[in-house]
Structure 1
Amino acid sequence: MKSPIKELLVSAVLYLPLCFFVWFYSAALLVVPAKWIAEQALMMWQNDLFNGINQQYYLFTVETLIFPKDQMGAVGSQLAVLDVVVNPMKYGYGLAVFSGLVISLPNTSVKFKFIQILIGYVLISFIQANGVFWETCKSLLMNAGPDAFNAINQTGISHNLVAGMYQLSYLILPAVLPIMVWVLLNRKFVEDITHFTTNEAGNDS
């Protein structure tokens, strides 16, 4: 009997590089939903501190309404504001992994694969937006000077919450959540793999 595990692994090795290639070179388009979600979240949270998000290729520039007292960035009579540059791609690599695993599924219809990739894309967009939100808060609290620190501190948000959510959004969610969703969407396949492995182990003994 042909091993479904080997079939999945061989196919994944072939498809994953292609998925990462497409993911990277389509980044400017793929991050658009994440930009909109993060922008809405920041504006709904503190619309007197944030002025929106500008996108340049795949990089986001979060525009704030925080005016540093020293005005070192001012030109002439123009007031300088603090901006935060965030790379949402570091929160979105799970899309390439998820897509590679979905495409590699044996005995699965193209329609079901497409639906799964769409679900994964929506999930990753929210993961990226979550990462952008918390990285912005972390950067303003810890890296943007006393004026930014005071502005965020006055919102009453917990510093420990910001640090913890940033670590979670950077280290855990992008790597773990897409795999968990893939397992849930393909529970029957995972059960078949488990059953096959158990039978193989029983035959060897």
Structure 2
Amino acid sequence: MAAARPYFILRVLLWLVPMFALWALLAPWLLVPVAGAADFFLTRLFPHAIAAVEQQGTKLEMVTQFIRAPTADLSAPAGADLQLVVTVDALQYAYGLPLLLALTLATPASWGRRMLSAAIGTVAVFPVVVWGVVCETLKVLVFQADPEVSMQMQIGPLQRELLALGYQLGYLILPSLVPIMIWGLLHREFLRNWMPTRAVSQ
């Protein structure tokens, strides 16, 4: 199995290129459920702040309830009477999907097993993207918006700390770590055989 490790890594690298290309091509459609989930959570958990979530390609626009002058992080679309909109690039939280697919397709298994694992993994990755989008939206409104907007968010000190932690997790750690963990869980036997073992002396 040790001799097979370089070949597996090579297969992963070879699969990465077409998977990233396919991901970039299909991203607007792949992000449709993310936009729907973000709309569901934000409009229900923060109805006083978020009116709707609209998708524009790979960008998600969070239409807020606030009427304020735009800032660097908040823009007012034409005809919206300065209704603040937070724009989030959802792709920055979804780059783990092509990595997961490359790992899955490079793993020795039947094509049926690979397709099933790819489907399960894809569904499992979507909550990470939703987490990142929601946390970035709240981060902009709480930490970067005008003080009047931040006050209307009704976020206490402890909640602010948790939001900052959640944003850091969603931006720096979860998008890359979760896909690898999902792949490992779906291919435990292969991973157990692939990892180096240490001989035990008698």
The TM-score by the shorter chain falls in which range? 0.7 to 0.9
Shift of 1:165: 0.4
Alpha-carbon contact 1:67-1:147 (below 8 Å) kept? no
Cα gap change, 1:173/1:75 in structure 2, threshold over 3 Å: closer, same or farther?
Answer: closer
Percent of aligned positions that are identical: 29
Aligned pair 1:11/2:11, yes or no?
yes
User: How large is the Cα RMSD of the aligned pairs?
Assistant: 2.2
- Aligned length in residues: 194
Distance in 1, matches of 2:107 and 2:100, equals 11
Q: Provide the secondary structure at the position in 2 that maps to 1:79.
A: coil
Within-5 A mapping of 1:1-205: 3-68=3-68, 79-106=81-108, 108-152=109-153, 154-156=154-156, 158-194=159-195, 197-198=196-197
* Unpaired stretches in structure 1, ≥5 consecutive residues: none
Q: Deviations over 1:109-141 (max 9, x none)?
A: 111111111122112211111111110000011
Shift in Å, 1:48: 2.6
Aligned partner of residue 82 in structure 1, secondary structure: strand
* 1:71 to 1:122, Cα distance in 2 relative to 1, 3 A: closer
In 2, distance between residues paired with 1:3 and 1:74?
A: 58
Tell me which structure has the larger Cα radius of gyration: 1
Determine helix, strand or coil for the equivalent of 1:48.
coil
Q: TM-score, normalised on structure 1?
A: 0.87
Gaps of 5+ in 2: none
